[in-house]
Structure 1
Amino acid sequence: MKTTHRRYFMEIAFDGGAYHGWQTQPNAVTVQERLDKVLTTLLRQPVDTVGCGRTDAGVHAKQFFAHFDVEHEGGIDNAEAFLYRVNALLPRDIGAKKLILLEPGVHARFDAVMRTYEYHVHFRKDPFLNGRSWQLRSVPDIAAMNHAAAILLQYEDFSCFSKSNTQVHTNICRIVRAEWRWTDDGQQLVFYISANRFLRNMVRAIVGTLLDIGRGEHGPEHMHAVIQSKNRSVAGTSVPACGLYLTEVVYPYL
């Protein structure tokens, strides 16, 4: 009997504090490693997931997608029951939210058309935000940062915000949203950024550059010089991973 290959998309969420990012690495605990181990155990066959992207160590995800193939005739009969079993075996800081059967050719990484990240900062010591937001000493100039953030939408080459020596073919990205807003309770300041794709370390470098502007070290127009330089050393220091969240991944068929 011919083997049937069924491709599934799984939506997950995770607190990245205990992990060295999403992607499996030697001598490091990662989210992908944990998920693959659980799926391999339950499906009784080797499972190698493919994620919608990679996250740095300590970065969180409110929405993350991974695809994987199941090699048997029947596939997964009951998605809800299977998710229950997956969550029973996953650690508490990783949760499986949805399972979707899709066409064999779909791809969690290459088919994504838009991604959104948030970066959270706060200003008063709060034990419940420890590891999930970055505490700053004083409130920066939000108007200046939003002025500079709007400049990002005028460019597509973001080499200046890319981590060095990355194996990517292009540093071209299309940013469609970049702005700072207060949360409804006024306790946190959040940077929202959406683009078709992101480079490694890009959001954390952008936030660091914007905070330099917000602290008055540069004017908002400095963002033009940073981007046009195409030089990572001209941009600001990358901010800590604890405040960064992947919050939305958009596909044309979901």
Structure 2
Amino acid sequence: MRGKKYFCSQLNTQRFFIELSYDGTAYHGWQTQPNSVTVQQELDKALSVFFRQPVASLGCGRTDAGVHASKFFAHADLKDVTETAAANALGSINALLPYAIAVKRIFAVEAEAHARFDATARSYEYHFHFCKDPFKLNRSWLYKAPLDVAAMNAAAASLLNFTDFTSFSKTNTDTATNNCKITEAWFRETDEGLIFRISADRFLRNMVRAIVGTLVQVGRKEIGLGDFTSIVESKNRSRAGQSVPACGLYLVNIIYPFVN
């Protein structure tokens, strides 16, 4: 049963889930890469120093350079570490991490639990603001042209009628399928700007930013609802809009059947 303590096949090795959040401004995405500073690299370094053993985490997905996460999960296998010891280590681990990365909790799971493949749903938000605001620098997209939010919401709602999102996928990826099940997609106006929220069982690389870029074309009245659905049906990335800047994108939720 998921969520209980189960030891891995290696003696005294326990798999842990790590919940964290981060401001991605200074990082070249989540995944460790040569000659780049990434969130995964910083997390693994902090865990390795504190637990005095090599730690290689695996994340629930990959976020691009400059993209943020208010909720992100990774898993890692730790030797001779109890769940109580891991939970009590939060303050020390956070002290080792840069201020832009915060670990929220660490908890034991069964040996086969997987941060990426066991996730059943993910949610992203994209944030716009319309007036210069120094406190939103690198955390929201400053957009100055008027937008028809009702038209954008109508187009966003149509996404729930499709499963193949090749038109919004980065080309030359190693995915076996471009099919996704979108369960919500809508815009909400706020006092400070505009927020787009989208949830699905999985997302393709660059998918959310490409969808938002195309919906902005709808909002600017450059294309209509029929044009938008035609773009989805075409399965042609060159017909969709440009990807919006990374600064406004947040991974905000991950759902697992065994995590509360």
TM-score when normalising by structure 2? 0.94
1:108 is the counterpart of 2:115: yes
Which residue of structure 2 lines up, in the alignment, with residue 190 of structure 1? 195
List runs of 5+ in structure 2 lacking aligned partners: 1-9
Residues in 2 aligned to 1:227 and 1:62: alpha-carbon distance in whole angstroms: 29
Which of residues 209, 215, 219 is equivalent to 2:220? 215
Which residue of structure 1 lines up, in the alignment, with residue 232 of structure 2? 227
Which residue of structure 1 lines up, in the alignment, with residue 162 of structure 2? 155
Maintained 8 Å contact 1:115/1:197: yes
Which residue of structure 1 lines up, in the alignment, with residue 147 of structure 2? 140
C-alpha deviation, 1:253, in angstroms: 0.6
C-alpha deviation, 1:99, in angstroms: 0.8
Task: Provide the identity percentage.
Answer: 55
Residues in 1 aligned to 2:43 and 2:255: alpha-carbon distance in whole angstroms: 21
Residues in 1 aligned to 2:225 and 2:151: alpha-carbon distance in whole angstroms: 6
Maintained 8 Å contact 1:76/1:82: no
C-alpha deviation, 1:76, in angstroms: 4.6
Which residue of structure 2 lines up, in the alignment, with residue 11 of structure 1? 19
C-alpha deviation, 1:100, in angstroms: 1.0
Give CA deviations for 1:134-156 in whole Å, capped at 9, x if unaligned. 01113300010001001100000
Give structure 1 regions of 4+ aligned residues with deviation exceeding 4 angstroms: none
1:12 match: secondary structure? strand
Which residue of structure 2 lines up, in the alignment, with residue 199 of structure 1? 204
1:167 match: secondary structure? coil
C-alpha deviation, 1:4, in angstroms: 1.6
Which residue of structure 1 lines up, in the alignment, with residue 78 of structure 2? 70
C-alpha deviation, 1:237, in angstroms: 0.2
Residues in 1 aligned to 2:87 and 2:183: alpha-carbon distance in whole angstroms: 35
Residues in 2 aligned to 1:27 and 1:82: alpha-carbon distance in whole angstroms: 29
Maintained 8 Å contact 2:66/2:246: yes
C-alpha deviation, 1:78, in angstroms: 2.8
Residue identity matched to 1:197: R
Maintained 8 Å contact 1:180/1:192: yes
List runs of 5+ in structure 1 lacking aligned partners: none
TM-score when normalising by structure 1? 0.96
What is the root-mean-square deviation of aligned Cα atoms in Å?
1.0
Which residue of structure 1 lines up, in the alignment, with residue 58 of structure 2? 50
Residues in 2 aligned to 1:28 and 1:212: alpha-carbon distance in whole angstroms: 33
